[in-house]
Amino acid sequence: MLPHQTDAWAALADLAAAPASPIASLFATEPRRLEALTPTVEGIRFDFSKLPLTLAQLQALAALAAEAGLPEWRRKMAGGEVVNGSEGRAATHMALRDPARRGEQAALLETAARIRAGALGPVRHVIHIGIGGSALGPQLLVDALGAGADGPEVHVAANIDGAALARAFDACDPAETLLIAVSKTFTTQETLTNLASALNWLAANGVADPISRVVAVTAAPDKAKAKGISEILPFADSVGGRYSLWSAVGLPLAIRCGPAAFEALLDGAAAMDRHFLKTPLGANAPVMAAMADVWQACFLKKPTRAIFAYDERLRLLPPYLQQLEMESNGKSVARDGTPLPFPTAAISWGGTGTDAQHAVFQLLHQGTHADPIEFVAVATPGHGLDPIHHRLLLANCFAQGAALLKGRTQAEALAEAGGDAALARAKGFPGNRGSATILIDRLTPDRLGALLAFYEARTFSAAVMMGVNPFDQWGVELGKQVANRLSAGETGGFDPSTEALMKAAGL
């Protein structure tokens, strides 16, 4: 039986159809609300209390999670059993950070230490070539933790657009540049094309043996070896790209910040995994977040969820989460292939605070959409400038959630507008707009590891509650197949618009 066919799902549908109390009023009617909806794990405070979710609804969602088999699915994933039915695979990313099962990382850490020590020649720059999960995760890690680190600078090139690779070239000295090529299959068109161009760049700039300046990270080591690469770090085929930063794909962090930083990242993730595996569903931070996601997307029909990082070091978190959440749960069929009669994963989008306040928050406060918003902040600043910078940053973050909740009544707006009724209508704010806030005590490798493991567990839990497989991504394949036909110069059989575009571009 699929989750939407259970009694728990029907009960939630009834709750969603009932009149909803204003969120602000719930703090009075539910005295334990703040305590119950604000778990703290590994120095991270998860505040779900301003979401449109009552404690009774949370309890009903926990019942759905139980009926959907989340405890069993959780156990199967952690135990290395098959959880990716369409591909017949386990999903072993959690094993990578388990202290008892970290054998794969030994080669990664040893390679990073050798590179930092100059064993592969002088290295001041690293160009990391990959795409999707092979680039987003490592780029986030280095951007968040790499400021002021003592290792080589890391530049990530993902886009097949040559401008991306050219920008990396402009920042590097070819004589002191190492290439990392990441592809699970080592057949990814964008990655292999960029790698070939990077090797040509090294050769054209006097590097005698460019292939010796390449480290390949792949689940298909024979294919990398066939291209003449000798430095190869394998990872398991059961590790999906968007879950792969815990594997050798995370090599850039170990090079930039040192092997100890990478091990701390794993330690933080492992601590969050223990919380996820052992804590009851109703008090489990990632499960609670997943419950809120399913409630808002599937039952309240909220089609988007915005994530705003109020810390410059986490500016790449929103795009990282876009892939994690939408590639995992952006499905329209259940695990057994049957169509789903409800909306699944919300569209993830977002930006960086306070920049976004001057760009998109007009719509969030006064627009016709009232979809959930998530703020991520760090209590300790990542700089040594005047503390006023961080005080203003956090004040703005917390103010957004408070203002979205409270709004501005028409009476207040009328006073603000000096009695002008038309102006008062423009200055009124509906309020009652839900948000969650994640507050990290400090941004260190272990805290970042815990945060990213939280988001992974949250995505998995939501998938189980909706009955979808979060580990395949067949939706990516069709576009690739058509692109291969077009890039090969194939014509005919396409729609008139596509044919005309190809002709206009001279392809």
pLDDT digits (tens, 9 = 90+) for 224-282: 999 999 999 999 999 999 999 999 999 999 999 999 999 999 999 999 999 999 999 99
Q: Distances from the Cα of 365 to the Cαs of 305, 408, 417, in angstroms? A: 14, 10, 18
Distance (Å, rounded) from C-alpha 23 to C-alpha 31?
13
Question: What pLDDT does 22 receive?
Answer: 97
Q: Which of 425, 453, 426 is closest to 274 using CA atoms?
A: 453
Distance (Å, rounded) from C-alpha 333 to C-alpha 337?
5
In the 3-class helix/strand/coil scheme, how is 314-375 assigned residue by residue?
A: HCCHHHHHHHHHHHHHCCCECCCCCECCCCCCCEEEEEECCHHHHCCHHHHHHCCCCCCEEE
Instruction: Region of 186 please: left (phi>0), alpha (psi -120 to 50) or beta.
Output: left
Mean pLDDT of 289-299: 98
Distance (Å, rounded) from C-alpha 327 to C-alpha 355?
27
CB atoms within 10 A of CB 331: 22
Per the CB < 8 A criterion, the answer to whether 23 and 52 are in contact is yes
Question: What pLDDT does 284 receive?
Answer: 98
Question: Of these residues, 190, 327, 374, 456, which one is catalytic?
Answer: 327
Question: What pLDDT does 154 receive?
Answer: 97
Mean pLDDT of 73-87: 95
Please tell me whether residue 81 adopts helix, strand or coil conformation.
coil
For residue 441, what is the DSSP state? S
Can you give the C-alpha Rg of the chain in angstroms?
24
pLDDT digits (tens, 9 = 90+) for 359-406: 999 999 999 999 999 999 999 999 999 999 999 999 999 999 999 999
Q: Which of 9, 65, 78, 436 is closest to 275 using CA atoms?
A: 78
Active site residue 503: no
Active site residue 480: yes
> Counting Cβ atoms within 10 Å, is residue 110 exposed (0-12), middle (13-18) or buried (19+)?
middle
pLDDT digits (tens, 9 = 90+) for 12-67: 999 999 999 999 999 999 999 999 999 999 999 999 999 999 999 999 999 999 99
Q: How confident is the model at residue 493 (pLDDT cuts 50, 70, 90)?
A: confident
Question: What pLDDT does 41 receive?
Answer: 98
Question: What pLDDT does 258 receive?
Answer: 97
Does residue 298 or residue 480 have the better pLDDT?
Answer: 298
The answer, yes or no, to whether residue 489 has pLDDT greater than 90, is no
Question: What pLDDT does 477 receive?
Answer: 81
Does residue 216 or residue 493 have the better pLDDT?
Answer: 216
The answer, yes or no, to whether residue 172 has pLDDT greater than 90, is yes
CA of residue 338 relative to chain centroid, distance: 27
Q: How confident is the model at residue 79 (pLDDT cuts 50, 70, 90)?
A: very high
Per the CB < 8 A criterion, the answer to whether 127 and 179 are in contact is yes
Q: Which of 190, 201, 146 is closest to 480 using CA atoms?
A: 190
Mean pLDDT of 118-147: 95
Distance (Å, rounded) from C-alpha 322 to C-alpha 291?
18
Q: Which of 350, 150, 135 is closest to 258 using CA atoms?
A: 150
Distance (Å, rounded) from C-alpha 22 to C-alpha 12?
18
Q: Which of 143, 129, 142, 138 is closest to 352 using CA atoms?
A: 143
The answer, yes or no, to whether residue 487 has pLDDT greater than 90, is no
Question: What pLDDT does 268 receive?
Answer: 98
The answer, yes or no, to whether residue 283 has pLDDT greater than 90, is yes
Q: Which of 446, 112, 369, 44 is closest to 259 using CA atoms?
A: 112
Q: How confident is the model at residue 479 (pLDDT cuts 50, 70, 90)?
A: confident
Q: Which of 361, 241, 371, 279 is closest to 74 using CA atoms?
A: 279
Question: What pLDDT does 271 receive?
Answer: 98
The sign of the CA dihedral 69, 75, 78, 83 is negative
Residue 158 phi, psi dihedral angles, 5° rounding? -120, -45
The answer, yes or no, to whether residue 76 has pLDDT greater than 90, is yes
Active site residue 358: yes
Distance (Å, rounded) from C-alpha 271 to C-alpha 466?
26
Does residue 173 or residue 507 have the better pLDDT?
Answer: 173
Mean pLDDT of 332-345: 94
Question: What pLDDT does 71 receive?
Answer: 98
444, two tokens? 């260190």
Mean pLDDT of 442-460: 98
Average pLDDT of every residue of the chain:
95
Mean pLDDT of 296-308: 97
Question: What pLDDT does 475 receive?
Answer: 87
List the beta strands (DSSP E) in 103-193.
125-129, 153-157, 177-182
> Counting Cβ atoms within 10 Å, is residue 406 exposed (0-12), middle (13-18) or buried (19+)?
middle
The answer, yes or no, to whether residue 104 has pLDDT greater than 90, is no
Question: Of these residues, 301, 369, 480, 503, which one is catalytic?
Answer: 480
Least confident range of 159-168, 360-369, 471-480: 471-480
The answer, yes or no, to whether residue 488 has pLDDT greater than 90, is no
The answer, yes or no, to whether residue 177 has pLDDT greater than 90, is yes
